[in-house]
């Protein structure tokens, strides 16, 4: 008896052998590239431009840690505003009142579609356009507002998805116990929705950490410099890239643990499913 598989041509290497050979070739290419880089690069120059020890030391002495703290402060405040605004927008998008839905949709589409830098430029020009206008908590107020406005648009969609992911039976159970819609939302739906979106919200927080670098557009005083502004200023002063590299690593100090946290949260969510 012949099966259709018997007619398949069997010549040359078996698929497994072929895969093995392909892997070997890939390793060989990689090793060749690394060796080429090792021998062709001018390591002395690279070291002195990017990793000069005296400039690393100077960067710390000039206050890279204060800049790190500023980055965290700008981000944290914007996250709070984004979270509050995002929740409000999410609820508006799910409202039974049409105009609320339209307003929220328009807001979200507008600020999601806009580069964050445009919002920052607009905020930097506000005092020029409206003479004498001040935003409280200078310079924090402007930064938190500009970052928070953009962040709330992103977070609104995440939170909306979270609210909609709470099973309908939960609302029915809450309502059948006599809870009003608002009470059911506060006690039953939102706590579960935030649990669901914890991982994606942390992702938004990482994006926000990086977006805080746009603060230098607004033109804050040197005491208000966050990591990027600080690094750029110092790199200009020394005509050397080392301060920027140090600042770059400082971002990783914030974002890498957050990234690990996201993966943990995702793993936990996967398990409880």
- Name the residues that contact another protein, by CB under 8 A: 167, 169-170, 172-180, 183, 187-188, 191-192, 195, 272
Shortest Å, Cβ 159 to another protein: 16
Structural contact between residues 164 and 94, judged by C-beta atoms closer than 8 angstroms: yes
| Closer Cβ to another protein, 53 or 181, answer by number | 181
| Closer Cβ to another protein, 58 or 196, answer by number | 196
| Closer Cβ to another protein, 87 or 212, answer by number | 87
- What 3-state DSSP class applies to 102? helix
Could you give the angle at which helices 242-271 and 227-238 cross, rounded to 10 degrees? Answer: 160
Structural contact between residues 86 and 155, judged by C-beta atoms closer than 8 angstroms: yes
Structural contact between residues 122 and 114, judged by C-beta atoms closer than 8 angstroms: no
The residues near 206 (Cβ < 8 Å, ≥ 6 apart) are 255, 258, 259, 262
Shortest Å, Cβ 260 to another protein: 24
Shortest Å, Cβ 199 to another protein: 16
Shortest Å, Cβ 79 to another protein: 22
The string of DSSP codes covering 103-146 is: HHHHHHHHHHHS-HHHHHHHHHHHHHHSTT---SSTTHHHHHHH
Shortest Å, Cβ 166 to another protein: 10
| Closer Cβ to another protein, 12 or 169, answer by number | 169
DSSP 62: T
């Amino acid at each position: 008896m012949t099966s259709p598989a018997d007619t398949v041509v069997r010549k040359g290497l078996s698929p497994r052998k072929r895969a093995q050979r392909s892997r070997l070739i890939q390793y060989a290419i990689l090793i060749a590239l690394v060796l080429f880089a090792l021998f062709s690069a001018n390591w002395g120059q690279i070291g002195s431009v990017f990793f000069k020890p005296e400039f690393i030391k100077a960067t710390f002495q000039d206050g890279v840690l204060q800049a790190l703290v500023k980055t965290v402060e700008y981000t944290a405040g914007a996250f709070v505003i984004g979270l509050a605004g995002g929740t409000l927008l999410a609820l508006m998008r799910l409202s039974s009142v049409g105009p609320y839905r339209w307003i929220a949709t328009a807001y979200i589409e507008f600020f999601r579609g806009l580069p964050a830098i445009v919002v920052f430029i607009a905020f930097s020009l506000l005092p020029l356009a409206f003479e004498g206008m001040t935003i409280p908590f200078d310079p924090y107020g402007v930064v938190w507002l500009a970052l928070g406005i953009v962040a709330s648009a992103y977070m609104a969609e995440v939170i909306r998805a979270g609210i909609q992911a709470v099973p309908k039976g939960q609302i029915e159970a809450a309502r059948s116990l006599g809870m009003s819609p608002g009470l059911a939302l506060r006690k039953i739906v939102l706590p579960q929705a935030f649990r669901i979106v914890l991982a994606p919200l942390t992702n938004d927080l990482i994006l926000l950490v990086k977006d805080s670098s746009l603060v230098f557009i607004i033109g804050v005083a040197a005491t208000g410099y966050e990591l990027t502004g600080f690094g750029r200023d110092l790199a200009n002063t020394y005509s050397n890239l080392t301060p920027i590299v140090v600042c770059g690593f400082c971002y990783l100090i914030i974002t890498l643990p957050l990234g690990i946290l996201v993966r943990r949260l995702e793993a936990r969510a996967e398990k409880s499913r």
